[in-house]
Amino acid sequence: MMQLSKQANDMLKSAVSAKNAFTTFGDEVSALAQAHYDKVAPTGNPVNVKAFLKASCDLLTEASTNLEIADQNVIRESGEDAAALSERDDALEATREGTLRLRSSLEGTYGDVVLSGLGIPSALPRDPVLLQRTLDSAYNRLTNATNPYTLPKPLDPNFPAWTEQNLANRLKSLEKPLASSIDKASREQKETQDARRKRRDALDALYRVIVSFNSIFSNLARLAGKPDIAERIRPRSGKPQSSETPQAPETTEAPATSPSA
CB 233 within 8 A of CB 22: no
pLDDT in tens, 165-199: 999 999 999 999 999 999 999 999 999 999 999 99
Spatial distance between the Cα atoms of 13 and 15, rounded to a whole number of angstroms: 5
pLDDT in tens, 71-114: 999 999 999 999 999 999 999 999 999 999 999 999 999 999 99
pTM: 0.77
Residue ranges per domain, the chain? 6-233
CB 214 within 8 A of CB 235: yes
CA distances from 225 to 20, 48, 255 (A): 20, 18, 20
Tell whether the model's pLDDT for residue 236 goes beyond 60: no
CB 179 within 8 A of CB 143: no
Q: pLDDT value at position 41? A: 72
